[in-house]
């Protein structure tokens, strides 16, 4: 199931799937309308003769003009898309290209024009003019006119979408929405109490389960997905335990140990290969199971905004605000336990889990490092810590937030040249520590 979900995500991220699907549908419509023309042999009269083409030459002219216009616009759409991807990668970050590839409106726009072109070619090929046979597919030609009109309307919508989607605020908003959905899916709301089930150490498990097999990666790449359900099923059947050493988002080199399987009996090579198939490695990171993927995208936008070549603190502040919202949610989220049990309450999988400390560091460490010489961004960073601290529910969370506040103050003391800027920052730091 996980592999099918992974394949579906890859299809969604591809730029060709929807255009090819629409091209196939357009071909089907062409044959359907030709079937209607041959079955009913419709001859327009009255007002309708002005909308339906009745002669061979006019039908060919109309279809030729539409086909040429549609393939020309398709080239324009492709060119605009390449320009947008170039601007996005250079100004906002290479990892955001995937977000633009996900834009269904761009994919549909290309599909509309390519499918219209193919539709017209198929209809033109069906027109016949002989002494014994004259065939003009009037219904099919009228459908082509409707598609051409729809294509013009869609061009206006596409240009509007492109002009909006390249704006930094829109990009940040889209990343934030994706990030929030991903975080809420991976980390359910409400802090839950730890289960009363036993949580043995890995060392004690290896003593109780003398047979240990190491499952290694067949090639290098990013760990994109782990089929936890299948791992649980195989571990239950073999009465063993799977110890995961990496989580989605980690980079693995060839022959790196992905997990260890401990059991009391011998393990066959076939079982080890089935366990290996539960791990999907790819060339890039994906948001499928990687909780930090969207966070890193947001951090990259902020880091580029703070670079000397761009120097855009407002974009960085917008990124900090959206990251603050996610971290406030995570203060009350339930991070999944590393220990996974079967229906009988027996330990079957030990995973490498996320923590609030790790998510907080992934969100703000790099931004702080790049923003050391920008007082406005550093002040907003400390204000973010104050906001997150007001939502913190455990002493451990407050300790980590205070540690980040201290790092921000230390960096400011080294780099701030204006005493009043430092005073403003110190006021926020006092608020973080509960001082008036």
What pTM does this model have?
0.76
Domain ranges of the chain: 2-166, 181-187+291-336+353-432, 202-282
Contact 378, 422 (CB under 8 A): no
Q: How far is CA 210 from the centre of its chain?
A: 41
Instruction: Please write the tens of the pLDDT for every residue from 266-282.
Output: 777 788 888 898 898 98
Share of the chain above pLDDT 70, in %: 89
Fold of 202-282: Aldehyde Oxidoreductase; domain 3 (3.90.1170)
Residue with tokens 């760990």: 223
Nearest to 371 by CA among 407, 323, 424: 407
Q: How far apart are CA 120 and CA 144, in angstroms?
A: 7
Q: How far apart are CA 224 and CA 250, in angstroms?
A: 8
Q: Which two tokens stand for residue 4?
A: 């099918």
Q: For residue 241, give every residue at least 6 positions away whose Cβ sits within 8 Å of its Cβ, in sequence order, or none.
A: 205, 209, 235, 261, 262, 263, 347, 348, 349, 350
Beginning with the edge strand found earlier in the chain, give each strand of the sheet holding 251-252 in spatial order. 251-252, 221-226, 279-282
pLDDT of residue 80: 82
Q: How far apart are CA 2 and CA 259, in angstroms?
A: 18
Q: What is the mean pLDDT of residues 330-341?
A: 83
- Give the end-to-end CA distance of the chain in Å, rounded to a whole number: 55
Q: Which two tokens stand for residue 155?
A: 């061009």
pLDDT of residue 194: 44
Q: How far apart are CA 324 and CA 330, in angstroms?
A: 10
Higher pLDDT, 65 or 266: 65
Q: Which two tokens stand for residue 92?
A: 């906002």
Instruction: Please write the tens of the pLDDT for every residue from 126-147.
Output: 887 775 677 778 888 888 999 9
Q: DSSP string of 255-314?
A: T-EEEEEEESS---HHHHHHHHTTEEEESS--TTT-TTHHHHHHHHHHHHHTSTTT--HH
Instruction: Please write the tens of the pLDDT for every residue from 163-193.
Output: 887 777 887 888 888 778 777 776 654 433 4
């Amino acid at each position: 199931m996980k592999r099918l979900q992974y394949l579906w995500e890859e299809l969604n991220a591809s730029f060709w799937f929807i255009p090819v699907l629409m091209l196939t549908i357009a071909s089907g419509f062409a044959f359907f309308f030709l079937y209607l023309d041959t079955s009913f042999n419709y001859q327009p009269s009255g007002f309708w003769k002005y909308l339906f083409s009745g002669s061979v030459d006019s039908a060919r002219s109309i279809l030729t003009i539409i086909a040429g216009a549609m393939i020309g616009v398709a080239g324009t759409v492709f060119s605009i898309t390449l320009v947008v991807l170039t601007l996005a990668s250079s100004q906002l970050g290479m990892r955001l290209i995937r977000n633009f590839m996900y834009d269904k409106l761009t994919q549909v726009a290309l599909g509309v024009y390519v499918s219209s072109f193919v539709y017209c070619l198929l209809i033109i090929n069906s027109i016949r003019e002989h002494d014994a046979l004259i065939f003009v597919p009037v219904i099919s030609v009228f459908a082509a006119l409707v598609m051409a009109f729809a294509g013009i309307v869609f061009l206006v919508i596409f240009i509007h979408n492109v002009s909006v989607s390249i704006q930094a605020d829109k990009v940040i908003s889209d990343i934030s929405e994706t990030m929030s959905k991903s975080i809420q899916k991976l980390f359910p709301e409400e802090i839950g109490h730890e289960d009363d089930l036993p949580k043995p150490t890995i060392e004690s498990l290896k003593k109780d389960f003398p047979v240990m097999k190491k499952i290694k990666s067949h090639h290098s790449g990013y760990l994109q997905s782990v089929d936890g359900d299948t791992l649980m099923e195989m571990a239950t059947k073999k009465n063993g335990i799977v110890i995961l050493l990496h989580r989605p988002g980690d980079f693995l080199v060839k022959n790196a140990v992905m997990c260890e399987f401990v059991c009391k009996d011998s393990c066959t090579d076939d079982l080890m290969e089935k366990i290996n198939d539960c791990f999907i490695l790819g060339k890039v990171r994906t948001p499928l199971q990687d909780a930090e993927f969207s966070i890193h995208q947001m951090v990259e936008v902020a880091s580029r905004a703070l670079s000397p070549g761009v120097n855009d603190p407002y974009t960085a502040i917008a990124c900090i605000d959206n990251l603050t919202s996610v971290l406030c949610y995570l203060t009350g989220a339930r991070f999944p336990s590393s220990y996974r049990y079967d229906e009988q309450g027996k330990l079957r999988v030990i995973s490498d889990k996320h923590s609030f400390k790790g998510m907080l560091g992934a969100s703000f460490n790099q931004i702080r490092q790049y923003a050391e010489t920008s007082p406005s961004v550093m002040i907003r960073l400390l204000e973010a810590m104050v906001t997150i601290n007001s939502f913190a529910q455990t002493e451990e969370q407050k300790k980590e937030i205070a540690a980040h506040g201290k790092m921000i103050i230390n960096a400011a003391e080294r780099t701030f040249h204006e005493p009043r800027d430092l005073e403003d920052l110190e006021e926020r730091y006092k608020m973080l520590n509960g001082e008036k």
